[in-house]
Copies of this chain bind each other. A is one copy, B any other.
Amino acid sequence: MSRIALVTVGDELLNGAVVDTSTAWLGDQLALEGHTLVLSISVQDDLSAISDAILAAVARADAVIVAGGLGPTSDDLTRLGVARAARVEVEQRSELVELISARYAARKIQVPSQALVMADLPVGANALTNNSGSAPGIFMDIDSVPLFALPGVPHEMRDMFIGEVLPELRKRFSGAHQYTVIVRVSLLGESTVSERLRDWESKLPLGVSVAYLASLGDVEVKISASNAEQAHEYATLAAGLIGDSIYAIDESRVPRSTLASTVLHLLGKEGATLATAESLTGGGLAQLLTDIPGASDVYLGGAVTYQAGSKNQLADVPKELMSSRGTVDAQVATAMARGIRLRLNSTWALSTTGVAGPGDFEGHPAGTLYVGISSPAGERAFKVVLTGQMADDRARVRGASAAHALDLLRRCIAGLPIGAQASFITEE
């Protein structure tokens, strides 16, 4: 287990222009490999700030990653910052001049003289190959600590990390490598999940470890071991203890399983199709489903019925039903699902109606959700009362409602019981 420090470079990281996603991505990748990101420093495009941060990182870690500041413009100062920290000069490398020139030639553009600054490397450094952009990376030791400087553009950074940094880290820190399997759990609190694994966790053999990552309505349990077989074996054991709130077991982060991809997969296996009718989630279910490439094999489409009128016009909800019971209602949810299923002739249909807030609606508090499900096996409706952080604000209510609707559909398709979830759920 080695300690890694990260230095990210760029004014845009500090002036509010950009939310930094690279730190979380690298932290996750490093954790999957058994390393720990112990420190992350973001600095402006400033030579002294860059070299100071590199030296601070080198003093505190077994390896250092730098991201950003490798481009061709005058504010790209990472090459010089690494050189200053290493107390060496930069020199132009003829092989990199050729590489950069060839890249421009392939696009039939004459190489701008400014671009050749990317052929400069600190004396003693090696270049890291950039397969998705022009700027080579830098690899060198500073005070016996390996340092990797990568581009700041996220996809270039990711490609170079996977292709160049990971193999080198595995070589340097042999024995540290571990395999991780991710068990994905929906709508069960992190404390409940860890409670179920507590006894088992206390008896794990050396080299097998468990980590938890919780986000709104979702917990990832990462089971790590020194080889793939062992990681799988223990992931299966953990899954057995956690139970049917598990919706996917992933061997890597990309592509990442989601509740929507799991539902599409379950339906696709049976040759079944799906339609949606959304009030509260307002297109959120449709978007989660159509985010998945190939969704159209299963997902036919749906209605966003944001007013009583459109519930009738697009999903054939009887007007009398709504005038007698209101629109936030279990029977309305069922009628929405039934209506859209008949309209689109889908195998299954899923609906949501409720109150996103801010404020009450038709006497129901924000965080009230009804989910309707219609299928050849019959119709079901559920009331979900969102609580805690899920009910914090409009965006969270909408997001948690979509997760609950998809998880209820998953349970109905798979014939699983309802009611194991974190929220208060009743079948109506």
A→B interface (CB under 8 Å):
12-21, 23-31, 36-44, 49, 53, 56, 155, 211, 213-215, 275-276, 278, 282-287, 289-291, 293, 295-296, 299-307, 309-311, 313-314, 343-345, 356-358, 392, 394-395, 398
Contact = CB atoms under 8 A, between A and B. Distances in A.
A15 B28 contact: yes
Nearest to A8: B40
A296 B289 CA distance: 23
Contacts of A49: 38-39
B286 A296 contact: no
Contact of A38 (B44, B289, B290): B44
A282 B286 CA distance: 6
| Max chain B C-beta neighbours (<10 A), residue from A215, A301, A358 | A301
Give the secondary structure class of A's interface.
mixed
A243 B38 CA distance: 47
A356 B40 CA distance: 35
A392 B156 CA distance: 12
Nearest to A29: B16
Nearest to A273: B307
A213 B15 contact: yes
Given A37-B14, A44-B38, A306 B290 contact: yes
Contacts of A38: 14, 43-44, 49
A193 B71 CA distance: 22
Contact of A276 (B19, B28, B304, B356): B304
A275 to B, nearest CB: 8
A252 to B, nearest CB: 13
